[in-house]
Chains A and B, each alone.
Chain A
Amino acid sequence: MVEKQIAGKPGYGTYLLVWAALVVFTIAAATSGRFITEGRLDSLPLVIAFVKTCLVAAIFMNLKYERGIVRASALFALGIILILGLLTFSDYGYR
């Protein structure tokens, strides 16, 4: 760890690890998405995108370390978007 965590916030080392994971996920999505042209794995890049979003929101946006009303506001915002996305995709999936 480059620096100790302060008041529950992540240290620079945590950010570096998350960035490395995001890079790996991006390369995995870029290489898989171009070659998988049919079947259920077609949506693999979107699954990877969702995992990347969770990492960015939890660590870079500090949601994992927020408490109380800030976390509630953030989860409310992201939850509504998630519900909209799920409704759209469930409709899209049955077409």
Chain B
Amino acid sequence: MITGGSRINGMRMDGIEAARENLTAKIGMWLFILTELFLFVVLFIVFLSYRSLYGEEFHRASMGLNGALATANTLILLTSSFSVAVSVAAVKRDNRGLAVAAVGATIGLALLFLVNKYMEWSEKIAHGIFPGSDGMAGLDDGTRIFYNLYYVMTGLHAVHVIAGIVLLAVMAVLILKGRVCGAKHAAHENTGLYWHMVDIVWIYLFSFFYLVS
């Protein structure tokens, strides 16, 4: 019988509970990631379908995007994935200082990503290329579809980045308060998984919109 002593076979019950929580939370997170990836996969399938119809127009429109800025953004997100992985490892090792610093670096990189994205969008908007604009109406069908997908998919991704920033900020507070620590790290580990998913989605957005000709 388990009583207030909270020990069974030499293990503390709160430790067992925490391990169980970590496990179930992680499984739930992977299923959540599956649904999120479905959202983007459907859009990628739409992209490929139209690309097979308007290959030439998609190629020309792709060459009109700012590849240098997108490459910089890819490097920024990959670095943020590295920093969030370091923060998760630091939390597991109860290294609170490093964990918070790494989360702070991740948030900074995420904000830099959004600033670059804002600059990229501004460049296109300044040329009158945005959904519903007269500039878009004057484009051929293929180019218009390309830019519509570009705004929808990169915009949806940016929303995920913003959600990630909020989650990371919450994690930083929880780590500082000691409510996320080595024994109870599921919330932060799942935030890390979410952030890596955002990174993976961008890897494909970068390839489809900026690289594949």
Contact = CB atoms under 8 A, between A and B. Distances in A.
A89 B204 CA distance: 14
Contact of A19 (B38, B59, B82, B206): B82
Interface residues of A, number: 49
Contact of A61 (B86, B196, B203, B206): B196
A16 B45 CA distance: 33
B interface, by DSSP: helix, strand, loop or mixed?
helix
B193 A95 contact: no
Interface of A: 3, 6, 9-12, 15-16, 18-19, 22-23, 26-27, 29-30, 32-34, 36-38, 42-43, 45-46, 48-49, 52-53, 56-57, 59-61, 69-70, 73-74, 76-77, 80-81, 84-85, 88-89, 92, 95
Given A77-B31, A77-B33, A81-B37, A56 B196 contact: yes
B85 interface: yes
A92 B52 contact: yes
Interface in B197-213: 199-200, 203-204, 206-207, 210-213
A50 B79 CA distance: 18
Contact of A12 (B38, B89, B192): B89
Given A26-B78, A36-B213, A73-B30, A15 B203 contact: no
